[in-house]
Amino acid sequence: MTDYKNFTVDADKDGIALVTWDMPDRSMNVFTEEVMNELEAIIDHVATTEAIKGAVFTSGKETFSGGADLGMLQKMLGLFEKEKNKDRKKAIKLLFDNAGRMGWLWRKLETCGKPWVSAINGTCMGGAFELSLACHGRVVADSPAVKMALPEVKVGIFPGAGGTQRVPRLANTQEALQMLTTGQTLSPQKAKAMGLVHQVVPPKKLVEAAKKMILDGLKPVQPWDEKGFKLPGGPVYSAAGANLWPPAIAILRRETYGNYPAATAILKCVYEGLLVPFETALTIEQRYFTEIMQTTEAKMMIRSLFISLQELNKGARRPQDVPMRKFKKIGVLGAGFMGAGIAFVTAKAGIPVVLVDRDVPAAEKGKAHSASLMDGLIKKGRAMPEDKEKLLSLITPSDDYAALDGCELVIEAVFEDSEVKKGVTEKAEAVLKPSATFASNTSTIPITSLARNSKRPKNFIGIHFFSPVDKMMLVEIILGKKTEDKALATAMDYVRAIKKTPIVVNDTRGFYVNRCVLRYMQEAFSMVIEGVPAPMIENAAKMAGMPVGPLALTDETAVDLAQKIMKQTIRDLGPKAVDPRHMELIDTLVDKYGRLGRKNGKGFYDYPERPAKKHLWAGLKDLYPQKKPEKVDVEELKQRLLATIALEAARVMEEGIVTDPREADVGSILAFGFAPYTGGALSYIDGMGVKEFLAMTKQLQKKYGKQFKAPALLHDMAEKGETFYQRFAPETGAKERKAA
């Protein structure tokens, strides 16, 4: 028998071949060109070897497979871009053929004449789940670790290897659409209930059960290839179809505002595909897939939400020459809102935490936060009572700084007051080893100035979390002037240990994220003052792809916090640093009407008792003369809200605060949900083209003011025809950071 690099093929006495996928050079199985070539040879071998009665496909790793290597897709796109300028038609044909390779290979498997059963032993994603759907039988290990999904839509593409056709031929159409358009993750039980898998069995019996399906006479023919096949959800042109399709289109529109071409393409694939024979349907899918692959959205989303995100999570910006650190004990100072959350995520990563506050009851209260978060997880079936016990046993509440002895890292989250922070820094350093790293979670005070309170400023760094700490995936790591690589490496190892994504930022007021967020809110304040009806502002933001409207966001973070920040900015930078009209609006809300935001039940919104829903405060429209809605250009509102953030991100790059465009992009999506279909705040500019972006902001500046003045950097880039990813190629970024 032929030897394969990525597979073993063992036939048993009954003539059933066990095909085990186990890539020697990867921790997870993924589809590469080599894997596909080998798989094709195996399918041929099974089909043509008389002694083989059928095949069971499984994985030799803990997980089944992560799906296609998106690097392969990027290569395919690169080839397309290269060819496109020479011969567009030929380039599209090449892309079409490449895009269809996997889909037709799976078709070959399901029509090879021998029965195939997929034995899904662990997480099974994307192309691997599509391969499994092409098998005649599917058996899944009954374990919470097994998750199945077709998540492609989350990175701007869709399941293009038969997924859009086989799912709605196995499950009812509504559930199929839900799964495909959201990239929903399925448990074994859910997949079985939907009709996507045949059996859920104890993990140890997995291969045996798969083989038994073949021995029991599994037919090597898919239901859709049998005469008289009926769709589980009924035909498109039927009463059921008439009830389903119009709302399905409306729901998709409501969820995406048409910003995600891949999600729309899924609906088209399913609708059109269910009207025709299976192979025609596969061709329809292949055509839409080829179209979607060429969209800016796909290119940008694959880059930011898959490739860059993975690279940052692996510590792309970590100094190479410092050894990795495993933490045995971490200190958290301040057991308030943020400190309690930081203690929770640290203990959740299995690291012992000492949680210090002014007195033991305050520290205990911080620990109780972890208990209530764990209760929530237990209620949802995502944790067991013993997990709660274990986690709580890792948190030691205390009011004694001596308890910090032996901590390799201490994170300070006490009041936002320089004097209080100075006091706790000194007390902690008196106990800590000189090599320990001290981090501050401050949101506004420059790290360099806080580092002056430290005897070892080289070990002083900012680790800036976002609230709620347990949910927000981004962490900003802020370098003070004297911060050295060892502290940076420690901070990155910590962020990696708690499974969040780090971005590295140089020291400045508001760092990166808050600078951008403030711009978003300020533009909305201007709109309110101009008399744009508030619901239009909030809706325009959602239509532009933002998850939370700017006024709702101001309420969430507190209107009086916005007031505090503005007042502090005036104190530090002078009265011109804040638009007096904005100050007046916020002062009116806070001082005249006591509207502090969600926390006191009234801000830009009113928050009535549940189950009533929040709604915009009716009094808002009495503050400023209102424009007629039909006189407001919604497209322009959308442009203003996105452009003001993108310009700030460009300024941050110009100032060298962020040096790597991957961090600016991923950071903008993870921290405040910057329109994910754009690939992030800088990719928004790159995707539209710097010249076009400048033309747009010039118009906006003329009409709305200097906040839309583009930095010199963008003019220079436009002149040179550069993108951010060319100008600040990630390797150069690392060098610049070192030099900074």
- Give the x/- contact pattern for ligand NAD in 595-614, rule: CB under 6 A: --------------------
What does residue 123 show for φ and ψ, rounded to 5 degrees? -50, 130
Closest to ligand NAD by CB, 296 vs 425, is 425
Which positions from 398 through 427 interact with ligand NAD, judged by CB under 6 A?
413-416, 420, 423-424
E-only strand ranges, 173-308: 185-186, 199-201
| Minimum separation from the CB atom of position 465 to ligand NAD (A) | 6
Q: Which of 6, 304, 441, 443 is catalytic?
A: 443
- In single-letter form, the type of residue at position 363 comes to A
335 interacts with ligand NAD by CB under 6 A: yes
Supply the minimum distance, in Å, between the C-beta of residue 498 and ligand NAD. 15
Residue 333 or residue 670: which is nearer to ligand NAD going by CB? 333
Q: What is the rounded (10 degree) CA torsion for 221, 223, 225, 227?
A: 110
Other C-beta atoms within 10 Å of 613: how many?
Answer: 9
Show contacts with ligand NAD in window 57-86 (CB under 6 A).
Answer: none
Contact region for ligand NAD (CB under 6 A) — 155-163, 191-199, 305-313, 440-448? 440-448
To the query of whether residue 45 is one of the catalytic residues in this protein, the response is no
Residue 37 annotated in active site: no
From 464, 523, 538, 683, the catalytic residue: 464
Part in contact with ligand NAD (CB under 6 A); list of ranges 3-11, 256-264, 328-336, 696-704: 328-336
Nearer to ligand NAD, 334 or 457 (CB): 334
H/E element holding 637?
Answer: helix 634-654
Q: List helix spans (H) across 580-633.
A: 580-587, 620-623
Which residue, 111 or 418, is less far from ligand NAD as judged by CB? 418
Exactly one of 33, 337, 580, 619 binds ligand NAD (CB under 6 A); that residue is: 337
What tokens appear for 45 in the block? 């071998």
In the complex, the smallest distance separating the C-beta of residue 592 from ligand NAD, rounded to whole angstroms, is 25
Which residues, in sequence order, are CB contacts of 443 under 8 Å at separation 6+? 416, 464, 511, 514
CB of 670 to ligand NAD, least distance (A): 14
CB of 608 to ligand NAD, least distance (A): 24
In whole angstroms, the minimum distance from the beta carbon of 363 to ligand NAD comes to 8
Calpha distance 692→686 (Å, rounded): 10
Active site residue 443: yes
| CB 474 to ligand NAD: min, Å | 11
The DSSP result for 272-319, as a single string, is HHTTS-HHHHHHHHHHHHHHHHTSHHHHHHIIIIIIIHHHHHTTTTS-
Buried b / exposed e over 708-718, threshold 16 CB at 10 Å, is bebbebbeebb
Query: Count of CB atoms within 10 A of residue 695's CB?
Result: 12
Contact range with ligand NAD by CB under 6 A, out of 332-340, 403-411, 454-462, 485-493: 332-340
Beta carbons of 42 and 19 less than 8 angstroms apart: yes
Residues 293 and 301: their CA atoms lie apart, in Å, by: 11
**Separation of alpha carbons 586 and 562, rounded Å:** 8
Query: Binding marks (x or -) toward ligand NAD, 202..231, rule CB under 6 A?
Result: ------------------------------
> Which is the catalytic residue, given 110, 412, 476, 648?
476
Contact mark string toward ligand NAD, 338..367, x via CB under 6 A: xx----------------xxx---x-----
Hey, what are 463's tokens? Answer: 């680790």
CA distance 171 to 195: 5
Q: Is 162 left (phi over 0), alpha (psi -120 to 50) or beta?
A: left
If the CB atoms of residues 441 and 639 are measured against ligand NAD, the closer one turns out to be: 441
CB of 342 to ligand NAD, least distance (A): 9
Closer residue to ligand NAD (CB): 166 or 515: 515
Q: Which of 304, 514, 526, 668 is catalytic?
A: 514
The nearer residue to ligand NAD, 112 or 420, going by C-beta atoms, is 420
User: Nearest-CA neighbor of 356 among 394, 390, 393, 404?
Assistant: 404
End-to-end distance of the chain based on CA atoms, in angstroms?
A: 59
Q: Is the dihedral of CA 428, 432, 438, 441 positive or negative?
A: negative
Distance CA 697, CA 74 (A): 31
Out of 71, 195, 336, 656, the residue judged to bind ligand NAD by CB under 6 A: 336
Q: Which of residues 458-487 bind ligand NAD (CB under 6 A)?
A: 465, 467
Determine, following the binding rule CB under 6 A, whether residue 562 of this chain makes contact with ligand NAD: no
Instruction: Using the minimum distance from each CB to ligand NAD, give the nearer residue, 291 or 560.
Output: 560
**In the bound complex, what is the minimum distance in angstroms from residue 721's beta carbon to ligand NAD?**
39
Cα angle value 553/554/560 (rounded, 5°): 150
Judge whether 514 counts as a catalytic residue: yes
Residue 663 DSSP SS3: helix
Fill in the amino acid letter for 187: S
Give which of 483, 485, 553 is closest to 516, Cα–Cα. 553
Assign 629 to helix, strand or coil: helix
Q: Which two tokens stand for residue 534?
A: 């508030």
Of 393 and 467, which CB lies nearer to ligand NAD in the complex structure?
Answer: 467
For the bound state, the minimum distance from the C-beta of residue 350 to ligand NAD, rounded and expressed in Å, comes to 23
- Residue closer to ligand NAD by CB (options 435, 467) is 467
Longest Cα–Cα distance in the chain: 86
Nearer to ligand NAD by C-beta: 218 or 498? 498
β-sheet bridge partners, residue 19: 9, 57
* Residue pair 710/681 in contact by the 8 Å Cβ criterion: no
Dig out the tokens for 99 from the structure. Answer: 């895009």
In angstroms, give the least distance from the CB of 669 to ligand NAD: 18
The nearest distance, CB 529 to ligand NAD, in angstroms, is 26
Please identify, using beta-carbon distances, which residue of 397 and 679 lies nearer to ligand NAD: 397
Q: How far is the CB of 177 from ligand NAD (least distance, A)?
A: 37
- Contact status: 334 vs ligand NAD (CB under 6 A): yes
3-class DSSP state for residue 365?
helix
Residue 90 to residue 82: CA distance in whole angstroms: 11
Give yes or no for a contact between 56 and 16, defined as CB atoms under 8 angstroms apart: yes
Which span sits near ligand NAD by CB under 6 A: 49-57, 162-170, 257-265, 335-343? 335-343
C-alpha separations of 268 from 150, 180, 253, 293 in Å: 17, 12, 13, 15
Nearer to ligand NAD among residue 294 and residue 444 (C-beta):
444
**Candidate list 176, 213, 333, 450; residue touching ligand NAD; CB under 6 A:** 333
Give the bridge partners for 7, in sequence order: 21
Binding footprint of ligand NAD, residue count (CB under 6 A): 23
x/- track of binding to ligand NAD for residues 500-539 (CB under 6 A): ----------------------------------------
Name the phi and psi angles at 56, rounded to 5: -110, 130
Per the listing, tokens 């901590």 go with 407
Name the residue with the smallest CB distance to ligand NAD: 336
CA 68 vs. chain centroid, Å, equals 18
Pick the stretch among 241-249, 267-275, 333-341, 641-649 that binds ligand NAD (CB under 6 A): 333-341
Return the range that interacts with ligand NAD (CB under 6 A); candidates 296-304, 327-335, 544-552, 729-737. Answer: 327-335
Taking the CA atoms of the chain, what radius of gyration do you get in angstroms?
Answer: 28
The residues of the shown chain that bind ligand NAD, judged by CB under 6 A, are 333-339, 356-358, 362, 413-416, 420, 423-424, 441-443, 465, 467
Residues labelled catalytic: 443, 464, 476, 514
